[in-house]
Every structure is written in structure tokens, then in C-alpha cells.
Amino acid sequence: MTGALAAAGRVRGAEPPGRARRAWALVRRHRVAAVLLVLAVALRVLAMLARRPGEVYWYDSYEYLRFALDPKPAQELHPGGYGMLLWLLRPFHSIALIVALQHLMGLAAGLLGYATLRRRGVAGWLAAVAMVPAWFDVELLHLEHAVLSDTPFMLLVTAAVCALLWSPRVSVRAAALAGLLLALSALVRTTALPLLGLVLVWLLLKRAGRRQLVALVAVAAVPVVPYAFWYHAEYGQYKLAGGDGSALWARTRTFADCAKIKPPPAEARLCPDPRITADAASEYFWIGEITRPPGRAANDALARSFALRAIRAQPLDYLHDVLADLSLTFAYPAKAHPKRLPPVYYFTDDVEPLSNEPTAHETMRAYDPSVRDTRPVGPWSGLLVAYGLHLPGPALGAVLLLGAYGVVRRGRGPGARLAVLLPWGMAVALLVLPVVVLDFDHRYVMPVLPVAGMAAALAFARRPLAAGDGRPVEPPGPSGALPELQD
């Protein structure tokens, strides 16, 4: 009996060293990613120490906070998905908590991308390097540190891509999960809704079964349809957000020529007024050429009708303006667009007071009574201001070209090319859709980084995939066993 207890004690005493060895082996196996992840965590800790409590911007941040205080679909631009997240966090009354969670989301997006790349046969060092922009870009870090929807949106889209790529054969469960994630992303930013169509096309190209297609659509409808009914109950329209007609009108405002469009009398007042000019299409949405309240929905429908008429009458002019704005993605140095905004959101030492808009203080005090302004905190602030790692436009263009190469690369099976096509197609769609419906914004580029990096890395996956479980396959070693994945 004593001997048995002693043996048990030796076993129990051996367990922690065993677990430590396994943990150390895991770190060694993913040593490049582990080092980068530690640095990425340290960078986010620095941001939390140096800039408190977080960035709050007019008008977006306050609109999200207002939804959290009084959940109700917004009539313009913003669906309620991000506001619902803030509503869930409202009992904590903490802007700092929101920011901290978003920093974790940024880390999670990179980890999901890395894990999926490794599972699909990408070398460890390359998979880690592919996530460097997602972990270290200063502008993405800045968006994580702000009460803005960009980071949750990026995580949802990245997670959907990872769910679909986790195994070579997309299961019903993976399709359902991707449908849910993309539907939630559409409730955060409506431009994600077309991504569901893109995934449906991709599943058809993969010859996925009917059950996968049905699962994707059915599960996606679970959050989207009730929200559309909620919007209808408030405003009489089945939509996720208003203002889409006014946004598209603003898009056409830069080229519309009513001599060519020949609008009916009801729409003639929407013809460009030469006395009102702006340096970006999106600026026309805000300067009030369209009277919104009262009759906001009617004005939005009228603006949509005019915009579609303008596009039909001047398709080449529309294409020219879309391509011109899209080219700003790859400009170097980065160009301010519109000019009132910085071309890159670097951190500063400035104190940012709360907005002086009449209800802004009430909104902020109701959500987080401790907030007075956003302020730098030394000595950390100097380090954060000095940090400026940013993926320049031409480098992003090169990443996308590598992904395109993977789509058309010869000597690879259709499965490998389709694996690249999904994240690459998502990246291109995320870049193009905002410009097509409104305008270019440097903010909208940031969620592209994880999926663009995945596409570029998958173009150089070094091992084929097993048809059954999705694990990379290497030639058997001398003993006939499959070797472990190593960097």
C-alpha cells in the first residue's frame, strides 16, 4: 500500500514537468509566432497604459454608445451589431474594458489566421509573417483602441474564412458557423452582406453539398431576419440600416451630369449644385444637400433612384471615379481622403476632449461616468507616439498580387487554388464594396489585412492536404510515421 502511494506520488510529481515539456515543445514548434505574439501583446499593453481610456470619435462612437443606452436601429449607416456588443458591456460602465476586449480581438484574428495557415500546410515562419500586419500595423492598433466597429468586424470576417478553410471538405457545421459569423458581421457593417453571396459561389465551385449551402443560408438568416423585422417595426422598411440611398447619391455626386441623366422633376433637386463642392464623395453625405428629417426614408428612396439613374446614364464616369478612389489604397505616401482626416491614424500626445455636440456629454456620462477626455500618460505615451509601423499601400498591393498568383498558379490542384481564392476574394471585396457604394476610407482597408495575408501565404503552402481530416501530409519518415509539423 505504501509502495503504491509512493508510486502515485512520483507520478503526480512528474505531471507538471511533463506538461511543462509539452508546453515548451509547443512553443518551440511555433517559436516565430510565439515571439511575435509576445511582442504584439506587449504593444497592446503599452497602448492601454499610454492612452486612456481610449479614442472616442464624433460621430460614430457616440452613435454606438447611444444604441447601447437605448437599443434602437439607427436610420443612417450603422446597423446595431456593434452597439449590441456595447449594450452587453454596459453594466461595467467602462470604455477601457471595450478597448481591452478589442485588443484581444485583434490578437485573436491573427491567431486564427496563423492556426488555419499551419493546418493548411504553410510553413510556420511564413504563417507567422503573414499575420505581422494584423498584429503590428499602427493604424489597426489605433482602431482597436477606439470605440469603433472595425475590430469586431475584422474578427468576424476572419473567423468565417478560417471556419471554411479549416478542413479541405467543408462540413455542414463549418458552413453553418461561417453563415452565422458573416451574418453577425453584416449587423456590424452592412457591406458584409454581399460576402454571403461570395461564399455561396465559392461553395458551388467546391461542389459542396446541398446541406452545406442550406446550412449557410439558414443560419445566416437567424440574426439578420429578426433585425430586419425590428427595423421595419421602427421605420416601416425591411432593412439593416438606412442611408444607403443617400450614400449612393453621394457616390455619384462627383460625376453626375443632369444633362445626360435627364431626371424626372421629383429628382431634379438632387442634381449637383456647382456652389457646393467637396474633396471626396463621402463629404456630400454630410453637408446636407439632401434634407433628411422629416421624410428621411422618402428622401433616401429618392436619392437611391437618382443615383441608379446616374449610374445607368454615365457608367464609365462611375467606373472611373470608383477606380480612382480605389487606387488610393495603394498610394505611397498615403493620401488624406477626405483631406480633413489624417492619411494614417498614428497615435499622438494630444488631449482629446469629449465632443461638444449637445448630447455627447450626456451619452458618455451615462455609459461611463468616469470619462472626462482621452489623455496621454507618460512615460508610456512617448513610446506609443514613436511607434509607427504601418503597411504601406504598395506593400498591400504586393500581398494581394501574391494571393492572385496563388489563385492562378499552375501545377496545383483546384482545391489548393480554391483555398487561396476564398481569403483573396474576401480581401478584394472588402476593399471594393465601400468604394462602390460610397467612398474610399483608410479605415476600411484595415480589416483586409488578416485575410489578405492568409491568401498570400496559402499561395506557397508546401504540403498537400489529406482528404479526411485536413491535416497537412508529408512523406513518411524511415519508420513510416508522419512527422510533426515543425518550423
| CA 220 – CA 80 distance, rounded (Å) | 16
Report the number of secondary-structure helices (H) and strands (E) in the chain: 24, 3
Query: What is the reported pLDDT for 465?
Result: 47
Same domain, 293 and 345: no
Residue 16 pLDDT class (50, 70, 90 cuts):
low
Q: Are residues 317 and 332 in the same domain?
A: no
Number of structural domains found in the chain: 2
Confidence of residue 472 (pLDDT cuts 50, 70, 90): very low
Alpha helices in 90-171 (DSSP H): 95-119, 124-130, 132-136, 138-144, 150-165
375 part of a folded domain: yes
User: Where does the pLDDT of residue 413 fall: very low under 50, low under 70, confident under 90, or very high at 90 and above?
Assistant: confident
CA atoms within 13 A on the CB side of 149: 29
Range of the domain at 279: 244-321
Phi first, then psi: give them for residue 374, nearest 5 degrees. Answer: -100, 125
The pLDDT assigned to 287 comes to 77
Percent of the chain with pLDDT over 90: 71
Q: Is 135 found in the same domain as 49? A: yes
Tell me whether the omega of the peptide bond preceding residue 53 falls within 30 degrees of 0, making it cis: yes
CA separation for the pair 427, 447 (Å, rounded)? 8
- CB neighbours of 82 closer than 8 A, spacing ≥ 6? 64, 149, 152, 153, 188
Residues 44 and 85 in one domain: yes
Of 321, 356, 385, the domain-final residue: 321
DSSP reduced 3-state for 467: coil
> Residue 409 is inside which H or E element, if any?
none
Residue 233 in domain: no
CA distance 181 to 83: 16
Percentage of the chain beyond pLDDT 70 is 89
User: Does residue 466 have a pLDDT over 50?
Assistant: no
Closest alpha carbon to 188 in 102, 80, 90, 86: 80
Residues 6+ apart with CB under 8 A from 420: 403, 406, 407, 455, 458, 459
pLDDT confidence tier of residue 355, bands split at 50, 70 and 90: confident
Q: Is residue 214 part of a domain?
A: no
Q: Which of 116-130, 215-229, 273-287, 414-428 has the lowest mean pLDDT?
A: 273-287
Helix (H) or strand (E) holding 350, with range, is: none
Same-domain status, 367 and 271: no
292 assigned to some structural domain = yes
Residue 330: burial class (beta carbons within 10 Å; 0-12, 13-18, 19+): middle
DSSP annotation of 274 reads: T
pLDDT tens, position by position, 359-369: 888 899 899 99
Amino acid identity of residue 239, one-letter, is K
Among 241, 46, 63, 32, which Cα is nearest to 144's?
46
Choosing from 290, 321, 352, the residue where a domain stops is 321
Label residue 97 left, alpha or beta by phi (over 0 means left) and psi (-120 to 50 means alpha). Answer: alpha
Mean pLDDT of the chain: 88
Same domain, 291 and 340: no
pLDDT on residue 3: 53
Q: Which of 175-179, 295-299, 353-357, 414-418 has the lowest mean pLDDT?
A: 295-299
Q: Are residues 157 and 28 in the same domain?
A: yes
308 lies in the same domain as 341:
no
Say yes or no: 41 and 158 in one domain.
yes
74 assigned to some structural domain:
yes
CB 162 within 8 A of CB 113: yes
| pLDDT value at 41 more than 70 | yes
Confirm if 149 and 64 have CB atoms less than 8 A apart.
yes
Mean pLDDT, rounded, for 72-77: 81
Of 321, 341, 356, the residue at which a domain comes to its end is 321
In a domain, 225, yes or no: no
Looking at per-residue pLDDT, the higher value among 154 and 285 belongs to 154
Look at 31 and 16; give whichever has higher pLDDT.
31
Query: What whole-number distance in Å separates Cα of residue 26 and Cα of residue 42?
Result: 21
Across residues 372-384, what is the average pLDDT? 93
CA dihedral 39, 121, 472, 32 (to 10 degrees): -20
pLDDT, mean of residues 438-456: 96
Using 50, 70 and 90 to split pLDDT, how confident is the model at 290? low
| Lookup: cell for 312 | 445607368
- pLDDT for the residue 480: 35
What integer is the mean pLDDT of 288-302?
62
Comparing 2 with 62, which gets the higher pLDDT? 62
15 domain-assigned: no
pLDDT at 5 > cutoff 70: no
Q: In which band, very low, low, confident or very high, does the pLDDT at 23 lie, cut at 50, 70 and 90?
A: confident
Burial class (CB in 10 A: 0-12, 13-18, 19+), 317: middle
Q: What pLDDT was estimated at residue 288?
A: 63
Q: Is residue 479 part of a domain?
A: no
Query: Is residue 39 domain-shared with residue 147, that is, in the same domain?
Result: yes
Q: Are residues 50 and 150 in the same domain?
A: yes
Residues 311 and 362 in one domain: no
